[in-house]
A and B are shown apart, each in its own frame.
Chain A
Amino acid sequence: MKKTLSIVLALLFALSCMGAALAEDKVTITMIQRLPAAYIVEDNPVIAAWGDRTGVIIEVEAPPISNYSDRLNVVMASDDLPDLIYVQNLNNTYQQWARDGLLLDLTDYLTPEIMPNACKVLTQDELAGCLVDGRLYSLPRVQTKPLDCITYRGDWLEKLGLEVPKTAQEFADVMLAFAKQDPDDNGIDDTYGFSIRNFNDRNLIHAFGLRPSDVPDENGEYTVMEGQEGYMTYLTWLRDMYLNGALDPEWYLTQSYEDQDKFFAGKIGALYTDIIINHVTQWAANATFVAVNPEGTVVAGPSLLPEGADKVGVYYAPQVWGGYAINADSEHIEETLRVLDDGYTDECVTLLFKGIEGLTYTSLDPETRVITLTPEQTALADQWCASYATINYQLSNKDMIIAGGTSTNEVELANWMAANDFVSSLEYRISYLGEGTIPGYNDESTKLTNDGVYSERNEKITQYICGQITEEEMASYLQNVYVPACEPMMNVIRASGINK
């Protein structure tokens, strides 16, 4: 008996030693990543699970989100480079790091044999922004984008007997009605149609035949958007709405989220900047929105259509939110490539974004995108998971990310689908590449920023919309000052032949 017990104990000891040895054999991959404030890095079971999937130990450094670039600059200037590096901006600095040999050239590694998952998911358009002198130095973090839309107060439209506007003229009429016909029924003239946060928003400009500056016209000619035919008509349309009181008079003070606050407060009836279909369903159920507007409903409208058109084509560039590069001097290139490639699997996207079944959520249906979670699981998910934590923020079939809209029930999902169907019946996507992918573009654009060209343009547009300068003065400024100032930048675009 003693002998048997001794053998068993010896075996157990040997096994534990082997286990320890195996654990010690695991390579540690260090990583620097831009993660939200609520994310807890220490003892994070999701990071540990990711390490288990890839057979390594993953150590994440998460600098402050607002100073990520500062910290990254220091890291790159020192000899303390981690194995895997999230590069927030694929700009000149990134290109310089690549040329200086700090980043591993991934061109020859992106093959179906070495990185099968990344090869399967990433398109050439998505990879374009990561190229430096024709070589690949990072893999992009791409987000599948739901359709943009314009949101309206559905109850206001209903009360005033109006339809969701589709054209610029209908939009102007509805905005005026929101401002002048007391849609909230409080007997006070305290509502406006909308506020402006972004001048050249795609939800508005296509109604005037405008296109991005790096998209050529039918003759293959590139023109900066502010110099295109129709831009003055667009500005005059905005100006008319300001002068007749449809536009919130404080629009030029509106900062991030303040237009949303005004929408929630029942001060404006439409929102168009950074709005996607997801917001329509979620805001209607938002506790604050309901508290302020007990009868309030939210409906989606399409990007504004040109007069007489049945549908509008809306330009969408690949939604690339930075990229992941590998330290050229990493001692664990093979393992780091494995970790990076794993980030492009649906399983890893789900793991990093939504966590572990039973721990951070109860169930998740990949088809319907409905997730169920308890309040406790929600709290844990907030700590251990984040969209920021994903290597790739899309699924391999390019469908919208699983539960990206945090759909938590079938009704919400049905509403989402209805809104999406309505908007997509009136608009279609036109894919194009953004200017940022053109070598040399950022240099020229930065010069314009530093020379105050953009800020002067914004000032002039503000003055024009507010009626402080005439149409002739505005047109003259655009054609004689702004457009010529943009010529060096436009020449870079022309030389590239992008989007032809």
Chain B
Amino acid sequence: MPGKRSAVRKTADEYVISGFSHLIVGVFALLCFIPILLVIIYSFTPYDLYLKNHFDFFPSRLTLDAYRMVTNYRYIWTGYGNTLYITFFGSILSLIVLVLTGYPLSKKDLKGRNVYMTLWIITMFFSGGMIPNYFLIRTLGLLNNRWSLILPGLVSCYNLILMKNYIQGLPGSLEEAALIDGANDLVVLVRIVLPLSAPILATLGLFTAVGYWNSYFNAIMYMTKRANWPLQLVLRELLFESAVNEMTAMDERVSTPFLLKMASIVVATVPIMCIYPFLQKYFMTGLALGGVKE
């Protein structure tokens, strides 16, 4: 019992260290949280109040003007639809391909494994370039097709390395036991490897989803119709156009670009931020284990 009591009771030094730790962590948490809070507050602040006081946590009036401007824009809704489609199918398909690629590459007895990995790694440093990629997509008949935004980014080598390393780190004895019990490779993959790979799948799923959610440049190249643009391109267009305009259009500003920017940040980030809490518990585990090379 005395031992237990001493384990529970903190010494004064421990209290000081603990308090100091809380203080540092708390300050940094606030430093991270306050800008996000300000973004949200700004997005609801009337322009005239913002002009009077740039750092007002409690504006006397609130407005939806900036949101109204964002949501009145017709292409916002088609943009949301396109981005959801790209993010959903892109992430699912990307995980499937990552597993189907990472699992065989994790096997040391796979013939030509090093050659395959070298080829993959080359793609980390070199790309075909904008014009060749455009010709490829055009030849495939994918211009103005949402799959032109999904397929080019389907498998990233970085994610593949994480996946391969994670699977390599799983206990080999489990697979051996399953094989002895008569399971084939597919069964081992589905019944043994996949359930154990939830952390890395969640991590890479989040990576990929965020990547697809934020992507816009390919759409500039491959989407000639505005109705096919993803959300980020639509918002980027909205912000840029508001900030840089022709001479006489300076007076046509409806809302200040800054407040519009804040509203756009909220509109663009809230949906993807909602996913994070559900995957958070897997996130660090997956990243840490996948990053270890045996």
Contact = CB atoms under 8 A, between A and B. Distances in A.
B136 to A, nearest CB: 12
A396 B253 CA distance: 28
Interface residues of B, number: 43
A74 B148 CA distance: 16
A8 B164 CA distance: 76
B47 to A, nearest CB: 5
B256 interface: yes
Nearest to A61: B224
Interface residues of A, number: 47
A288 B47 contact: yes
Nearest to A379: B72
Contacts of A286: 251
B134 A42 contact: no
B7 to A, nearest CB: 55
B74 A383 contact: yes
Contact of B244 (A40, A145, A256): A256
Contacts of B240: 37, 64-66
Interface in B121-136: 130-131, 134-135
Contacts, number: 108
Given A65-B237, A74-B130, A264-B51, A274 B250 contact: yes
Contacts of A279: 250-251
A387 B246 contact: yes
A71 B220 contact: yes
A278 B135 CA distance: 46
Given A41-B226, A61-B224, A256-B243, A78 B134 contact: yes
B5 interface: no
A274 to B, nearest CB: 6
A145 B224 contact: no
Contact of A265 (B52, B130, B224): B52
B52 A37 contact: no
A245 interface: no
Given A42-B225, A70-B221, A64 B238 contact: no
Given A42-B227, A78-B138, A261-B258, 12 more contacts: A37-B238, A38-B241, A62-B226, A63-B220, A67-B217, A143-B246, A143-B247, A143-B248, A146-B248, A257-B250, A257-B253, A276-B247
Interface of A: 36-38, 40-42, 61-67, 70-71, 74, 77-78, 80, 143, 145-146, 256-257, 260-261, 264-265, 274, 276, 278-279, 282-283, 286, 288, 291-292, 319, 321, 383, 387-388, 401, 404-406
Ranked nearest first, the 4 interchain pairs of A and B with the lowest CB-CB distance are: A265-B51, A291-B48, A66-B240, A37-B241
21 contacts: A37-B240, A40-B226, A41-B225, A64-B220, A66-B236, A66-B237, A66-B241, A70-B130, A71-B220, A71-B221, A78-B138, A143-B248, A274-B247, A278-B248, A282-B251, A292-B48, A292-B52, A383-B74, A404-B248, A405-B251, A406-B251
